[in-house]
Every structure is written in C-alpha cells, then in structure tokens.
C-alpha cells in the first residue's frame, strides 16, 4: 500500500525506557505542601547545607507524636527514605559528582522545566518570563541565583504558596517532569525516587501531556526554533495581576 493512498497512517511511536504510569495518591493540602518542600530540598545541589539538614528531614519523616501533621503516605515516605539512605551511603563527594553528571550533563534529566518544551531555542527566554509572571501573579518575587524554572524552586513555590497558580504551573509542565522521571529511572539514579514522590502528589497525567511526554522521550528537547511557538500558559490569563507593595514583598528561594 503506498503512502499516497494512506494519508491517515503515521509512523508508530517507539516507546523507549518508558516507566509504568503512577496513580496519584490522595493527599490533603498540608501533606502535598510537605511532600513538595522535602522534594525541593532533596533535589538541591548536595552542598554542606544539604548534608546538615538531612538528619532533620529524616527525623521529620519519622515524627508521629500527638498533634503532629498528618503522616505522609507510605509510598512517598518510602521514596524519600530510599533516597536519603542512598545519599548517606554515597557520601558527600561522590553524591556531588553524581549530581553534576545526572543533572548538568544529560539533556533528558534536566531540572529546568522550560528546557523540555523550549530546549536550546530563542523561545526559552519567553518561557522563563512566564515562570516569573506566575510567581508574581501569586504575590511572590523570585529571589535566587537559579533560573525561575528550576524544579526545586517551583516545588518550594508550591509548598509555601496558597495560590492555585503553583499547582497549575506544575501541571503545565507535567510532561517534562515525567520525562525527567523516565530518564532518572533508566539511569538507576537515586534521585528517581524523589521525582516519583512528586509525581505521586500530582493529578493524573492527561492524554495530551502523555503525547508530549512520548515525543520528548523519543526525540529529546527541541534544538531549533523553526515551527515552534511557546506563548504564555493559558492559565496566566485568569490570574489577578501582581500588586507591588502588597503581597509582593514575599520571596521564594531565599
């Protein structure tokens, strides 16, 4: 059968190293905030401050006193514990080396969310502006040396902000988070369990995001701007504008 007579046929997507989909867990707002804050801290570069706070994070997972916050669901607690044990076994020097190799040298395991949609294109700048607009629309100013799409920063934003924009921002980049999870699992990286915990805290991935995820897994982030268009996420149009002098004195990533 010729291609001319079969316009409805298209090449089959080849699934490489695709993990099984995760079904989200039922979390209350406090549990989701704790999950995102702990994940934010554990996905940061493992410097001296990282190792100093590890015992406190481990203790917070074991806390079960009366009046304490609701415990995290077992799969999320287990994911964090698994990573902490692996980090402790690796030691500071080796863990830092693994972090650089994992997140700085591989395109499909990048911690900058807009990279998955915009890649190394001129549209990346526009994508980054949308993150700043999202922070400001929720009443926060971004104050850090990292770019505003840095996943640990976005997770911290989700943990400390009561605005729905944080959840919407993560949802808008869910395909990139899933590609990151797939890449880390394929590398048998200890950070895979942290991203899995994040995915367990997010809504079910929809079909459109799954299609984008499959394309990213097979092709990687874009490297050319031809035919690409990245505007502001549609949810930004529904937000109240940032008001200088009001909630804007709050900061994230301080």
pLDDT of residue 204: 80
Percentage of residues of the chain with pLDDT beyond 90: 43
Largest CA distance in the chain: 71
CA distance 68 to 65: 5
Q: What are phi and psi of 64, to 5 degrees?
A: -145, 30
Q: What are phi and psi of 112, to 5 degrees?
A: -100, 110
Whether pTM exceeds 0.85: no
CA distance 118 to 222: 6
Residues 6+ apart with CB under 8 A from 10: none
Calculate the alpha carbon distances from 123 to 77, 194, 207 in Å.
38, 29, 25
Average pLDDT, the chain: 77
Q: Is residue 46 classed exposed, middle or buried when 0-12, 13-18 and 19+ CB atoms within 10 A define those classes?
A: buried
Q: Which CATH number fits domain 29-252: 1.10.3480, 3.30.950, 2.30.30, 1.10.150?
A: 1.10.3480
For 163-205, the pLDDT digits (tens) are 888 888 898 888 889 889 989 999 999 999 999 999 999 988 7
Residue 104 reports pLDDT greater than 80: yes
For 226-239, the pLDDT digits (tens) are 333 333 344 334 33
pLDDT of residue 71: 87
pLDDT of residue 238: 38
If you average pLDDT over each of 66-75, 113-122, 197-206, which comes out highest? 197-206
- Domain boundaries, given as residue ranges, for the chain: 29-252
Specify whether the CB–CB gap between 66 and 148 falls below 8 A: no
């Amino acid at each position: 059968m010729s291609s001319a007579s079969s316009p409805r046929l298209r090449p089959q997507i080849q699934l490489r190293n695709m993990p099984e989909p995760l079904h989200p867990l039922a979390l209350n707002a406090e549990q989701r905030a704790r999950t995102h804050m702990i994940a934010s801290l554990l996905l940061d570069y493992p410097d001296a401050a990282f190792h100093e706070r590890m015992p406190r994070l481990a203790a917070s997972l074991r806390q079960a006193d009366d009046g304490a916050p609701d415990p995290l669901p077992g799969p999320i607690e287990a994911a964090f514990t698994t990573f902490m044990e692996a980090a402790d076994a690796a030691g500071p020097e080796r863990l830092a080396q693994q972090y650089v190799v994992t997140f700085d040298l591989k395109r499909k395991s990048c911690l900058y969310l807009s990279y998955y949609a915009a890649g190394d294109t001129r549209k990346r700048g526009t994508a980054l502006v949308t993150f700043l607009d999202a922070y400001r629309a929720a009443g926060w100013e971004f104050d850090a040396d990292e770019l505003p799409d840095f996943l640990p920063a976005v997770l911290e934003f989700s943990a400390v902000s009561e605005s729905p924009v944080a959840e919407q921002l993560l949802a808008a980049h869910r395909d990139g988070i899933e590609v990151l999870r797939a890449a880390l699992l394929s590398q048998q990286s200890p950070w895979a369990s942290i991203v899995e915990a994040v995915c367990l805290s997010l809504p079910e991935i929809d079909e459109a995001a799954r299609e984008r995820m499959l394309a990213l897994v097979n092709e990687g982030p874009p490297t050319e701007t031809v035919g690409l268009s990245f505007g502001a996420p549609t949810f930004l149009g529904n937000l109240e504008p940032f008001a200088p002098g009001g909630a804007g004195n709050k900061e994230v990533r301080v």
